[in-house]
Amino acid sequence: MLAAQSISKSFTGVQALRDVSVTIGGNEVVGLIGENGAGKSTLMRILSGTQSPDSGTLTLDGKPLRLRSARDAARNGIGMVFQEQSLLLNLTVAENIYLGQEGEFTRFGLVNWRAMRKAALRQLGKIGVDIDVTARTADLSFAARQMVELAKALTLEDSTNCPLTILLDEPTSVLARADIDILFTRVRSLKARASFVFVSHRLDEVLQVSDRVYVMKDGLIVGEYRADKVTAPQLHEIMVGRGLHSGYYKEAQQTPPRPAVLLEAAGLGVSGAFRNVDFSIREGEVVGIAGVVGSGREELTRSLGGFLPQTSGSLKINGNAVRLASPEQAVKLGVGTVPRERRTEGLVMFLSIASNITLANLGSVMANGIIDHRRERSVAKEWLKRLRIKAPNVDVACRKLSGGNQQKVVLARWMTAGSRILILDHPTRGLDVGAKEEVYELVRELSAQGVAILLLSDTLEETIGLSHQVLTMRDGEITARFEAAAGQKPAQVDLLRAMV
């Protein structure tokens, strides 16, 4: 039995885990659910030895366990199947399965490839898949790679005498339905030889495969249930854990949209990501998209931002049919993206506020091909005031601003560029409560000015609270549409039913 007792871990001011205790019994499948940032991944990294806790202990069958590396964990029978897969695509299947553990086939530094291939075949046999062990991993489908990864974790069975615990971090987020079923069949049949920890966003899947479920929220374990004694909507409520306050999302300031349609998608699709997407956004309308990881909503927003060219259907912006082939083209057509990763995608962190604000529309501050810095600064000052950006002056580098103010600078840039359509991709991620409220207020103001907004958000309540209309997506398709006028917001459970 693997157990974690009173584990705490913080990263530069953020408490990722607070006094977390979990146990994983022998031959048990334990589910772990929680929203983004709830601390699931941190807990998994601690269990797999890639991070060490600030305080608290791990025990294995009652004996204390100190893990300093993934290798340490492996020695103690703990293997991990990573969310972003950890196979090397340039190696063969057999090489991947035994990478770092070639010891038994190696003599004087020389590898006995034939013995390794034979052993790899035996590992794959354990999960009952037939994959050519001499194939390059890059040539395998995603689902097949997942099986190889599972087989790799199972090699621990031979190299340690400890009971095996396999951590599966969001293994289903990249798999198709049929492959998920295969994976679940394997996990169930492997229960006789190993315990599993299963992390997922999809509550029904967690319930389907687990014996016991832990719910995490804000770095705490907030619930522990037997899987046959709880339902998906119940879990969701515990996971989200707060009631809806209409005031928080400035519902009183929600203005009805105007009739003119700014963006219209008909049968839009990107192969392998989403298909048959129909929707439109009117002037001043906020359309929220709800869906779990893998629903295709992330790809949809990337496609509308010009990062992922559409492969089917049609798109109209301001009534004109367009095909977005690049972000540059999207910006020219008035589509601005406020990306999820402010630090890497949203702002050039070492440039000043003024430079960042005018970046998407340098033409407006140029004279004869030369940037007029006075004009640039005066434009930026104007926005500093209008969006209440807190900064000593416009020459400050953006990396010195708080997250909320950085987000405002991104918004100011798109307003300067004359964007009439904004894609807000998790606009409040990583912001504190006060900064979130300010962003909500800005969303309301922009909407009142007639800007069309497509919203993706971390939480369902935020999506419902801010939007005029909410679309739910599942497995790449829109499954339902909900009107969300002020005072007539749909219930979370109804949305959830269409999402999972």
Which residues form the interface with another protein (CB under 8 A)? 50, 70-71, 74, 82, 86-91, 95-96, 99-102, 106, 109-111, 122, 125-126, 128-132, 135, 139-141, 143-144, 147, 152, 178-179, 182, 185, 189
Residue 52, helix vs strand vs coil: coil
Cβ-based nearer residue to another protein, 345 or 395: 345
CA angle 378, 380, 382 (to 5 degrees): 70
Distance CA(422)–CA(410), nearest Å, equals: 11
Q: How far is the CB of 86 from another protein (least distance, A)?
A: 5
Cβ-based nearer residue to another protein, 135 or 396: 135
Cβ-based nearer residue to another protein, 176 or 266: 176
Distance CA(443)–CA(431), nearest Å, equals: 15
Q: Which of 130, 148, 128, 129 is nearest to 138 (CA)?
A: 148
Q: How far is the CB of 215 from another protein (least distance, A)?
A: 28
Q: Evaluate the CA torsion angle 390, 396, 398, 402 in order and state its sign.
A: negative
Q: How far is the CB of 6 from another protein (least distance, A)?
A: 27
Give Cβ neighbours of residue 363 (< 8 Å, ≥ 6 apart).
none
Q: How far is the CB of 341 from another protein (least distance, A)?
A: 14
Give Cβ neighbours of residue 221 (< 8 Å, ≥ 6 apart).
20, 21, 22, 214, 215
Cβ-based nearer residue to another protein, 104 or 382: 104
Q: Residue 17 carries which side chain, given as an amino acid letter? A: L
Burial class (CB in 10 A: 0-12, 13-18, 19+), 322: middle
Cβ-based nearer residue to another protein, 129 or 230: 129
Q: How far is the CB of 294 from another protein (least distance, A)?
A: 18
Distance CA(319)–CA(309), nearest Å, equals: 19
Distance CA(239)–CA(213), nearest Å, equals: 12
Q: How far is the CB of 399 from another protein (least distance, A)?
A: 20
Cβ-based nearer residue to another protein, 109 or 434: 109
Task: Tell me how far CA of residue 125 lies from CA of 102, 212, 215, 361, 408, in angstroms.
Answer: 19, 28, 34, 59, 55
Q: How far is the CB of 131 from another protein (least distance, A)?
A: 5
Q: How far is the CB of 41 from another protein (least distance, A)?
A: 14
Q: Which of 178, 287, 239, 183 is nearest to 40 (CA)?
A: 239
Specify the pairing of strand 212-217 against strand 220-226: antiparallel
Cβ-based nearer residue to another protein, 182 or 227: 182
Q: How far is the CB of 66 from another protein (least distance, A)?
A: 17
Cβ-based nearer residue to another protein, 74 or 300: 74
Cβ-based nearer residue to another protein, 131 or 421: 131
Q: How far is the CB of 159 from another protein (least distance, A)?
A: 10
- What is the CA 125 to chain-centroid distance, rounded? 33
Cβ-based nearer residue to another protein, 5 or 173: 173
The phi, psi pair for 133, rounded to 5°, reads -75, -10
The phi, psi pair for 265, rounded to 5°, reads -110, 135
CB 287 within 8 A of CB 454: yes
